[in-house]
Amino acid sequence: MGAGQPRDRERPMTDRTTTDQMTTDPDTRLSHLELNQPDKTFLDSNELIINMGPQHPATHGVLRVILKLDGEKVLGTECVIGYLHRGVEKIAENRTYTMFNPYVDRMDYVAAVSNGLGYCEAVEKLLNIEAPPRAKYIRVILTELNRLASHQLWLGTHALDIGAMTPLFYTFRDREEILKIFEKYCGARLTTHAFRIGGCQYETYEGFERDVTKFLDFVPPKIDEYEELLTTNRIWLERTKGVGVISRADAIALGVTGPVLRASGVKWDLRKAQPYAAYADFDFEIPIGVNGDTYDRYTVRMEEMRQSLRIIRQAVERIPEGPIMAKVAKVMKPPVGEIYHSIEAPKGELGYFIVSDGSTQPYRVRVRPPSFVNLQALEVMVRGALVADVIAVIGTLDIVLGEVDR
Amino acid sequence: MIGKLKGQYGSGIREANSYLGQNYMVVEPSIVSELLQILRDREQFDYCVDVTAVHYPDREKQFEVIWILYSFPRNERIRVKTMVADGESAPSAVSIWATANWLEREVYDMFGIRFDGHPDLKRILLPDGWKGHPLRKDYGIIQQDQEWVQANLGIESGQ
């Protein structure tokens, strides 16, 4: 050791604790959840505050997490969000109902079709109209394709975060086929603006059914392929089993929804619980997990992909003929009142609370974003875990910051 | 359920109604806290879907705070609404549903409504030093905290 270098041994222990300045004590915030307290170590004076993000490849966007660490162990986290805040709810108050429709695509931009479905259905309820059956079937087909695309993107990036690079290429390759169908249908691949209030603007293109059926035959072996790479992969198991556990009771108390809730053993899916669009017409299962860990969330989402395919196949086979738009006035003036409508988006319960004052513009639009609420559970899921697990848990929560921040 | 609650609170429940098949209650601020607790414990509304607010500048009590609740066992939703004047605070539901934490912070951030009993009420989407609450009706669509923008972003204006 060189003469100029400080020697740890000679430095008093107390000098190291200079960074303990978290503004909030996580113990008091969620104390009634009976969290497992991490074991104290003899070095527990060595709390270290580390900043992760907002520019970090594993935070899936501009999420900043302040980690309170004891060595590798996470003692607490604090999420700093809002970097992508665009004031979507404020914009809504200054647009007509129709004009606001494309904006919702920009929240959860990897599942734009779902956002549009929720918004259109909410306004339709407020107007007391219903989309024609054919439009509902088209909506189901596109929404389920989008769920699949969203789950594929989740799987690719989540696996990449954990260190498996191959699934990313596989999932993006196959997701491309879905985006091609979107592009052929409405011209856009990502922010599709596929639906209109009252139905759909576009009739399906020539060969739509053929393309979708072809995709339905194409993709199941590919999903098997993803599973082959991961499901029994030892590294994958080590990194996901028992990681980021959230109990059934905690999950409900924290209001998490979607695959995260189902992996904790709650068999609840809005498509079954309060069917919307044409979901009541189709047979499908709700996959659930047992342990509420990252691995269970993985298996739940993998099974959801297969169930989505089942729904799409039934919808394509039974798609009725008929109009695709209900009778809607050019200038929409919903009667004074309020509505809350929610759908099962790929991330969880996506709700729209709309207040109408009888004018052409909504008085208030509140979006209940699944990612925002699910992200709150991060704290509970990573306490006592390792830093590497934080990466896994952020991935498994499947958040999209565009929706968290709105 | 409504009948039972009305018997218990009388005029504390101002209105209990249904619009487009959705149930809602308008209640006095004084009973909100107790009512929410009862709704969870006795009526099994175990999932707090959302906490939000609406600003009505012309009313005497300008803000309406809304809790959207869901019950897994009953597969039912209900909205609880109460009125809060500017500067008044609403009771916090964090001790009833942990999920209310961030949701209430967002309401505070966007409307400036304080929640009594919230463990850590601070802004969530906007920066801590920001002035103003954007979802109030008197806040313009292109309005921003110029001072903050100039001091922190080093630009003249964000527009």
Q: Is A334 helix (H, G, I), strand (E, B) or coil?
A: coil
Q: Are A226 and A157 in contact (CB under 8 A)?
A: no
Give B30 to chain A, closest Cα distance, Å.
24
- B68, A89: Cβ pair inside 8 Å? no
Q: Which residue of B has its CA nearest to A337?
A: B19
Backbone angles phi, psi at A73, to 5 degrees: -90, 135
CATH number for A160:
1.10.645.10
The single-letter code of the amino acid at A182 is F
Q: Is residue A333 part of a domain?
A: yes
CA angle A183, A184, A186 (to 5 degrees): 65
Range name among A68-77, A145-154, B43-52 with the lowest pLDDT average: A68-77
For A70-74, what is the mean pLDDT?
A: 83
Per-residue pLDDT tens over the stretch B129-141 = 888 899 988 888 8
What does the pLDDT read at residue A146? Answer: 92
Q: Are A27 and A57 in contact (CB under 8 A)?
A: no
A264 has a chain B CB within 8 A of its CB: no
| Alpha helices for B89-128 (secondary structure H) | 100-111
B97 has a chain A CB within 8 A of its CB: yes
Q: Is residue A44 part of a domain?
A: no
For A55-68, what is the mean pLDDT?
A: 80
On chain B, the residues whose CB falls within 8 A of the CB of A22 are none
* DSSP assignments along A40-89, one per residue: P-TTTT-EEEEEE-SS-GGGTSS-EEEEEEETTEEEEEEEE--TT---HH
Q: Is residue A120 part of a domain?
A: yes
- B20, A81: Cβ pair inside 8 Å? no
Q: Which of B47, B54, B123 sits opposite A255 (nearest CB)?
A: B47
Domain that holds residue A143: 88-368
Longest dimension (CA), chain A: 86
Measure the CA–CA gap between B143 and B159, rounded to whole angstroms. Answer: 9
- A82, B49: Cβ pair inside 8 Å? no
Q: Are B46 and B76 in contact (CB under 8 A)?
A: no
Give A143 to chain B, closest Cα distance, Å.
22
**For a pLDDT cut of 90, what percent of chain A falls above it?**
38
- A254, B134: Cβ pair inside 8 Å? no
Q: Which residue of B has its CA nearest to A366?
A: B52
Measure the CA–CA gap between A117 and A125, rounded to whole angstroms. Answer: 12
What does the pLDDT read at residue A37? Answer: 61
What does the pLDDT read at residue A204? Answer: 87
Instruction: Supply B156's token pair.
Output: 């003249």
Residue A17 binned pLDDT confidence (cut-offs 50, 70, 90): very low
Q: Is B67 helix (H, G, I), strand (E, B) or coil?
A: strand
- DSSP character for B15? E
- A340, B120: Cβ pair inside 8 Å? no
Measure the CA–CA gap between A339 and A388, rounded to whole angstroms. Answer: 42
Measure the CA–CA gap between A183 and A196, rounded to whole angstroms. Answer: 17
On chain B, the residues whose CB falls within 8 A of the CB of A255 are 47-49, 97-99
Residue B18 binned pLDDT confidence (cut-offs 50, 70, 90): confident
Torsion of CA A319, A323, A329, A331, to 10 degrees: 60
Q: Is residue A127 part of a domain?
A: yes
With DSSP H G I counted as helix, E B as strand and the rest as coil, what are the percentages for chain A, rounded to 5? 50, 10, 40
- Taking 60 as the threshold, does the pLDDT of residue A25 lie above it? no
Per-residue pLDDT tens over the stretch A246-282 = 999 989 999 999 999 999 989 999 998 889 888 988 9
Measure the CA–CA gap between A170 and A190, rounded to whole angstroms. Answer: 19
- Taking 70 as the threshold, does the pLDDT of residue A338 lie above it? yes
Q: Is residue A182 part of a domain?
A: yes
Per-residue pLDDT tens over the stretch B38-77 = 888 888 898 999 999 999 988 888 899 999 999 998 888 9
Instruction: Supply B102's token pair.
Output: 């961030």
End-to-end alpha carbon distance in chain B: 51
Q: Is B60 helix (H, G, I), strand (E, B) or coil?
A: coil
Q: Is residue A31 part of a domain?
A: no
Centroid of chain to Cα A282: 23
What does the pLDDT read at residue A21? Answer: 44
The single-letter code of the amino acid at A66 is I
Per-residue pLDDT tens over the stretch A197-245 = 988 888 888 888 899 999 999 999 999 989 888 888 888 888 888 888 9
For B12-22, what is the mean pLDDT?
A: 81
The residues near A150 (Cβ < 8 Å, ≥ 6 apart) are: A108, A110, A111, A114, A346, A347, A398
Q: Which of B24, B101, B134 sits opposite A87 (nearest CB)?
A: B134
Q: How many domains does chain A have?
A: 1
Count of other CB atoms within 10 angstroms of residue A286: 17
Rg of the Cα atoms in chain A: 23
What does the pLDDT read at residue A34? Answer: 53
Residue A42 binned pLDDT confidence (cut-offs 50, 70, 90): low
What does the pLDDT read at residue A6? Answer: 42
What strands, in cross-sheet order, belong to the sheet with A47-52? A47-52, A64-70, A73-80
B95 has a chain A CB within 8 A of its CB: yes
What does the pLDDT read at residue B65? Answer: 92
Backbone angles phi, psi at A123, to 5 degrees: -70, -35
What does the pLDDT read at residue A315? Answer: 92
Taking all residues of chain A, what is their mean pLDDT, rounded to a whole number? Answer: 85
For A107-126, what is the mean pLDDT?
A: 91
For B30-39, what is the mean pLDDT?
A: 87
Q: Is residue A392 part of a domain?
A: no
Residue A32 binned pLDDT confidence (cut-offs 50, 70, 90): low
B153 has a chain A CB within 8 A of its CB: no
On chain A, the residues whose CB falls within 8 A of the CB of B63 are none
For A50-66, what is the mean pLDDT?
A: 80
- B50, A125: Cβ pair inside 8 Å? no
- A254, B46: Cβ pair inside 8 Å? no
Q: Which residue of B has its CA nearest to A122?
A: B20
Instruction: Supply B128's token pair.
Output: 């801590």
Closest CA to A111 of A164, A55, A175: A175
Residue B106 binned pLDDT confidence (cut-offs 50, 70, 90): very high
The residues near A162 (Cβ < 8 Å, ≥ 6 apart) are: A235, A236, A239, A240, A391, A392, A395
Considering the entire predicted model, what is its pTM?
0.83
Q: Which residue of A has its CA nearest to B49?
A: A255
Closest CA to B36 of B4, B5, B76: B5
| Burial degree of A311 (CB within 10 A; 0-12, 13-18, 19+) | buried
Strands B114-116 and B89-91 turn out to be: parallel
Q: Is-cis flag, bond preceding A335, omega within 30?
A: no
Q: Which of B49, B98, B124 sits opposite A81 (nearest CB)?
A: B124
Measure the CA–CA gap between A292 and A242, rounded to whole angstroms. Answer: 8
Q: Is B142 helix (H, G, I), strand (E, B) or coil?
A: coil
Give A184 to chain B, closest Cα distance, Å.
36
Q: Is residue A29 part of a domain?
A: no
If one compares A12 and A313, the residue with the highest pLDDT of the two is A313
Instruction: Supply B56's token pair.
Output: 């009505």
Whole-angstrom CA distances from A340 to A122, A145, B68 are: 7, 25, 9
